[in-house]
């Protein structure tokens, strides 16, 4: 489904049903992940010439899909991260053997290298020989390669066992090994290096498998089955149409935004290179069949959005306790930033207040309905994309905020639930951070989390062509950031935003005149 998000809510148009292109894309995705295609993949002409397109989850492909989604672990292709793990384990054992040979070369034993070598091996003594260090790494190599390369195991217990065994052995070795001879000569310190490196590489192997290999493979497997892994999914339940292992529907596959149906022009989607495609209901279609088609997740979004208005109006109407952080209250055309501590609502809130040269409706239209175009005029936002339209007044927005405080605060991304309405002549939008299955946390950005907040446009008394604009925001930037740096970043971002928004409004006014 593709929609033109630049239109107003009443004019969103839904496109037609999925065509043959989407069906082939589904099969191609299975081919890429599982390494083999469903048996109908080589027969696209069977439905291109009037036949019936294959339906995933039906009896047509039941045996093939069952095999592809539940293959024998030994037969599944090895992922890139797992191959990197196997290379790392091989490198570790070779490194320790090389270091042990160098240690033997520099040892203080009398005689040639061969005699020193034989003394380390044949005359092995736990208190005087380090031959057991490379042997320990070789044992670890055999266990890990057999388990995670040959058997393609999917749990971390064996690497945890080898790491634990290595640590116990090295601790005993440190207490019992005779370092006195090398320490007195001052010529060979590789015994210390061998023990330390053996300890480090064991922990690196454990960390890499448990925190890189297994999570990446799990995410890829779930995505291939038609569901997206989200570490905080329990906060808001998924829609029923994305159950894992269930029947797949065409709603899971869609065309890029700003792209006509059956069009191969991808120019409109290149701008949002960080954002994957997402399932979207058009505002027009959701208005007509909202309650009939919404899943449990969408209904939860609506319930949450409905409760935000009371909180937003409480924040907006209560003028007490706000402290001026930036700007001049006598000149609202440049904007002012205030702050206030509200522990019962989530911590510190910031309020931007200013006057813009436009009506409330036009200002709100630009900032809310044209939000996907905002990166073109607002450098504080790198990308902005509507992930899902819930109904005529509610949607889920993803955006990436640029770095702040002179680069000391790196770029953050956010997923926000938004809902708007017109009330008492004011245009109001409320928002709050949520999770969404189409946008799990990205490796490139720290995922920030927004508390309850709002935008309010209100006509200036006596001048209907000017609006008082208020933005109240509460955000958790995550990461180890000092309070003063967060305050500086938020104040600067809000002031910069108002400056760019004013410039945008003035530009639009010039075009109209």
In CATH terms, the superfamily for domain 318-512 is START domain (3.30.530.20)
Which pLDDT tens digit goes with each residue over 485-500? 777 788 888 999 999 9
Question: Which value, in Å, is the radius of gyration of the alpha carbons in the chain?
Answer: 31
Per the prediction, the chain carries an average pLDDT of 74
Record the tokens describing residue 434, joined without a space: 């949520």
Rounded average pLDDT over 335-347 = 87
- Beta-carbon contacts of residue 345 (< 8 Å; ≥ 6 apart): 311, 315, 451, 452, 474
pLDDT, residue 212, reads: 84
Which pLDDT tens digit goes with each residue over 143-198? 999 999 988 888 888 899 999 999 999 999 888 888 765 554 555 677 788 889 98
Exposure string (b/e) for 325-360, b if CB count within 10 Å is 16 or more? bbbeeeebeebbbbbbebeeebebbbbbbbbbbbbb
Rounded average pLDDT over 329-345 = 88
pLDDT at 12 over 60: no
pLDDT, residue 7, reads: 42
Whether the CB-CB separation of 510 and 434 falls below 8 Å is answered with no
* Orientation of helix 190-208 relative to helix 132-145, angle to 10°: 10
pLDDT at 43 over 80: no
pLDDT, residue 23, reads: 59
- φ, ψ of residue 356 to 5 degrees: the values are -120, 150
Distance CA 144, CA 158 (A): 7
Record the tokens describing residue 172, joined without a space: 């005993």
pLDDT, residue 182, reads: 53
- CA atoms within a 13 Å half-sphere pointing along the CA-CB vector of 477: 25
Say whether pTM exceeds 0.85: no
Which residues of the chain are in CATH 3.30.530.20 domains?
318-512
Distance CA 435, CA 431 (A): 13
**Percent composition of the chain: helix, strand, coil (DSSP 3-state, to 5):** 50, 15, 35
pLDDT, residue 25, reads: 57
Record the tokens describing residue 447, joined without a space: 């995922």
Residue 367 per-residue DSSP state: I
N- to C-terminal Cα distance for the chain? 37
């Amino acid at each position: 489904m593709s929609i033109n998000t630049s239109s107003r809510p009443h004019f969103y148009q839904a496109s037609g049903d999925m065509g043959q292109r989407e069906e082939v894309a589904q099969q191609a995705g299975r081919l890429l992940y599982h390494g083999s295609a469903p048996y109908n993949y080589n027969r696209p002409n069977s439905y291109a010439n009037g036949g019936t397109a294959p339906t995933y989850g039906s009896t047509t492909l039941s045996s093939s899909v069952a095999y592809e989604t539940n293959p024998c672990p030994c037969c599944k292709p090895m992922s890139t991260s797992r191959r990197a793990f196997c290379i790392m384990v091989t490198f570790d054992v070779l490194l320790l053997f090389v270091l042990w040979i160098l240690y033997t070369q520099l040892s203080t034993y009398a005689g040639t290298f061969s005699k020193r070598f034989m003394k380390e091996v044949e005359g092995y003594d736990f208190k005087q020989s380090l031959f057991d260090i490379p042997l320990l790494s070789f044992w670890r190599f055999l266990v890990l390669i057999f388990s995670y390369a040959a058997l393609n195991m999917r749990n971390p217990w064996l690497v945890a066992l080898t790491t634990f065994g290595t640590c116990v052995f090295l601790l005993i070795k440190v207490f019992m090994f005779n370092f006195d001879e090398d320490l007195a000569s001052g010529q060979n310190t590789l015994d210390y290096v061998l023990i330390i490196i053996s300890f480090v590489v064991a922990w690196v192997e454990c960390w890499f498998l448990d925190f890189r290999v297994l999570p990446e493979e799990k995410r890829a497997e779930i995505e291939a089955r038609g569901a997206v892994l989200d570490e905080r999914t329990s906060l808001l339940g998924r829609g029923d149409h994305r159950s894992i292992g269930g029947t797949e529907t065409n709603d899971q596959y869609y065309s890029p935004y700003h792209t006509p149906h059956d069009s191969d022009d991808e120019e409109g989607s290149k701008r949002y290179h960080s954002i994957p495609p997402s399932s979207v209901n058009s505002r027009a279609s959701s208005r007509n069949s909202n309650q009939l088609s919404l899943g449990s997740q969408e209904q939860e979004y609506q319930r949450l959005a409905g409760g935000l208005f009371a909180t937003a109006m409480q924040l907006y109407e209560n003028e007490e306790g706000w402290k001026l952080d930036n700007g001049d209250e006598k000149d609202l055309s440049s904007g002012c930033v205030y702050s206030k501590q509200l522990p019962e609502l989530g911590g510190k809130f910031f309020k931007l207040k200013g006057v813009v040269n436009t009506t409330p409706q036009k200002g709100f239209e630009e900032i809310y309905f044209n939000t996907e175009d905002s990166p073109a005029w607002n450098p504080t936002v790198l990308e902005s994309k509507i992930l899902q339209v819930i109904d005529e007044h509610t949607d889920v927005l993803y955006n990436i905020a640029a770095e702040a405080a002179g680069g000391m605060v790196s770029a953050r991304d956010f997923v926000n639930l938004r809902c708007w309405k017109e009330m008492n002549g004011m245009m109001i939008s409320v928002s709050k951070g949520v999770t969404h299955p189409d946008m799990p946390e990205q490796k490139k950005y720290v995922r920030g989390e927004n508390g309850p907040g709002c935008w309010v446009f209100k006509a200036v008394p006596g001048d209907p062509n000017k609006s008082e604009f208020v933005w109240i925001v509460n955000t958790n930037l995550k990461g180890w950031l000092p309070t003063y740096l967060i305050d500086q970043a938020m104040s600067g971002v809000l002031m910069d935003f108002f400056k760019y928004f004013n410039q945008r409004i003035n530009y639009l006014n010039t075009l109209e005149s």
